[in-house]
């Protein structure tokens, strides 16, 4: 346990770095698809997308996972369901975050190859997912509890936000 606090510190910093990529990369995707007719701009964005994923996001994701495994190894009581049910909720949210992260790489490759059919509106909505998952993860960790009410409220709130982003805009009739 002597090194646990240092590993935890590293874990939090790695998580913050990973989240920075998860927040920013979909925003780059929005710029990419909404400016597809501006070739020079898109080529610069493609470089930014590659670098933020490969040089920031991927190493930070690996560091987050490895440091998390080290923490669980140093403090295995965190895996005792009766004591730490919140940890299983956190790990479940982490699985969704990993899936999201891998999906960003899929979209990045599609955009790099000019084969992505998603809209800017889609990527605006998709950009909300890591925020929702981060709120859930941080909530579970800080409170050391799993609350179905908290989880449901956050999921419903973000479902509503996604709906608002994706719904078609009303066209006003001009007289």
Residue 1 pLDDT greater than 80, yes or no: no
What does the pLDDT read at residue 170? 76
pTM over 0.85: yes
What's residue 63's pLDDT? 98
Q: Does 90 show up as a binding residue in the annotation?
A: yes
Q: Is the pLDDT of residue 173 over 70?
A: no
The answer, yes or no, to whether residue 174 has pLDDT greater than 70, is no
Q: How confident is the model at residue 82 (pLDDT cuts 50, 70, 90)?
A: confident
pLDDT value at position 56?
Answer: 96
Which of 22-26, 59-63, 164-168 comes out lowest in average pLDDT? 164-168
11 is in an annotated binding site: yes
CB 166 within 8 A of CB 125: yes
Domain ranges in the chain are 4-166
> What is the secondary structure of 110-146 as a DSSP string?
HHHTT-----HHHHHHHTTHHHHHHHHHHHHHHHT--
Output the pLDDT for position 105.
97
Q: Give the pLDDT confidence of 84-134 residue by residue, as tens digits.
A: 899 999 999 999 999 999 999 999 999 999 999 999 999 999 999 999 999
pLDDT value, residue 84: 87
Please tell me the distance from the alpha carbon of residue 23 to that of residue 10, in angstroms, as a whole number: 20
């Amino acid at each position: 346990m002597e090194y646990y606090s240092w590993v935890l510190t590293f874990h939090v910093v790695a998580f913050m770095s990973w989240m920075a990529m998860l927040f920013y990369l979909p925003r780059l995707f929005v710029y990419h698809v909404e400016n597809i007719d501006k070739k020079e701009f898109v080529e610069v964005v493609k470089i930014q997308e590659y670098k933020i994923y490969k040089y920031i996001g991927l190493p930070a994701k690996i560091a987050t996972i490895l440091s998390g495994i080290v923490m669980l190894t140093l403090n295995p009581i965190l895996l005792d369901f009766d004591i730490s049910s919140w940890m299983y909720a956190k790990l479940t949210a982490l699985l969704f975050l990993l899936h999201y992260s891998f999906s960003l790489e899929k979209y990045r490759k599609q955009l790099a190859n000019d084969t992505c059919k998603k809209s800017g509106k889609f990527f605006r909505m998709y950009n909300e997912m890591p925020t929702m998952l981060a709120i859930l993860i941080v909530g579970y960790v800080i409170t050391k509890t799993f609350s179905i009410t908290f989880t449901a409220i956050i999921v419903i709130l973000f479902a509503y936000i996604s709906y608002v982003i994706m719904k078609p805009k009303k066209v006003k009739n001009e007289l």
